[in-house]
Structure 1
Amino acid sequence: MTATSPGITGQCVHCQVTLMLKPWQLNAMAINEAFTCHHCQKSLQISGPAELKRLKALDSLTLLRASLRVMIASALLVALVMEWLGLLTGIEQLNVSLLALFIYFVAMRYARQRQHLKLVLQAAKAHA
């Protein structure tokens, strides 16, 4: 079984096949190295700086899940302490908790949606 990055695809300019890109192919694109299409066996690379920027923008989403979990745990803990101190009622604490969970799920949906992208691949230039 091979591991793939969910939602990141590329289209081969030679055979027009849409490829599910593997992690090693994404790494090759990130360092501007060519790789071969598994369908037509021709060399491919990322098409330009705009596509490379789109690929590298995914790095900013990698720590989102962990930071959101810390934020949610902090919000729930603060709401619980405020209820213990009498600053919030039980219903208000429940509302704060539900709002924090809602924010978490909306942010994760946005992040998953951003990870689905289709990169345009071009024919690799010959190295001298």
Structure 2
Amino acid sequence: MTAAIGIKGHCAHCDITFELKPWQLNAIAIHEPFDCPYCQRIVQLDCPRQLRQFKSLNRWVLVRPSMVVLTCVALIVALVAEWTGLISVVGQLNVSLVTVLIHFLVLRYARQRQRMTLDLQGVHPTNALPIEQLARIACARLGQQ
């Protein structure tokens, strides 16, 4: 499962929105141009605001595991408090329901923050790698295998 589910790209040239694949997300992260799957033009994310928003996705990676741990601990504490007589069964049920509700609300908010559409601009041929350099890179990669 990918941490960044719901990230889409919008090609400015062909005006089509598509789901970005993991290798395309990696290319955006290292500021590398890639081909649009529809019009085959070389595109790249150039907007600094969207690039900051994309890079800020790292903050949301640990939300799900953290919420699982927090929810489990809260449910165990409520159960132990009910066993020791500090709260009643109804109180324990209320604490458990509120904990599960908060868990799902936080996960929904985190998922909503991870969904975005990035505007991909066309790259001018002067910024693209020349064919000779691409051929050398391809030969070097094939030689590694």
DSSP 3-state at the match of 1:104: helix
DSSP 3-state at the match of 1:67: helix
DSSP 3-state at the match of 1:32: coil
Q: How does 1:26-45 map to 2 (within 5 A)?
A: 26-45=25-44
Letter in 1 for 2:46: S
Residue 118 (structure 2) aligns with:
119
Letter in 2 for 1:25: Q
Asked whether 1:98 is paired with 2:63, we answer no
Which is worse superposed, 20-29 or 52-61?
A: 52-61
Deviation at 1:83, TM superposition (A): 1.1
Taking structure 1 as the reference length, the TM-score comes to: 0.90
Question: CA–CA distance in 1 between the matches of 2:69 and 2:6?
Answer: 26
DSSP 3-state at the match of 1:11: strand
- RMSD, matched Cα: 1.6
Residue 6 (structure 1) aligns with:
5
Letter in 2 for 1:119: L
Q: How does 1:49-128 map to 2 (within 5 A)?
A: 49-125=48-124, 126-127=127-128
Question: CA–CA distance in 2 between the matches of 1:127 and 1:14?
Answer: 16
Question: CA–CA distance in 1 between the matches of 2:54 and 2:22?
Answer: 12
Letter in 2 for 1:48: C
Identical amino acids, percent of aligned pairs: 47
Letter in 2 for 1:33: E
How many positions carry a matched residue from both structures?
Answer: 125
Q: Which runs of 4+ in 1 moved over 2 A?
A: none
Deviation at 1:124, TM superposition (A): 2.2
Letter in 1 for 2:80: V
Question: CA–CA distance in 2 between the matches of 1:55 and 1:14?
Answer: 21
DSSP 3-state at the match of 2:43: strand
Instruction: Name stretches of at least 5 consecutive residues in structure 1 with no aligned partner.
Output: none
Deviation at 1:6, TM superposition (A): 3.2
Bigger radius of gyration among the two: 2
Instruction: Name stretches of at least 5 consecutive residues in structure 2 with no aligned partner.
Output: 130-145
Deviation at 1:127, TM superposition (A): 4.6
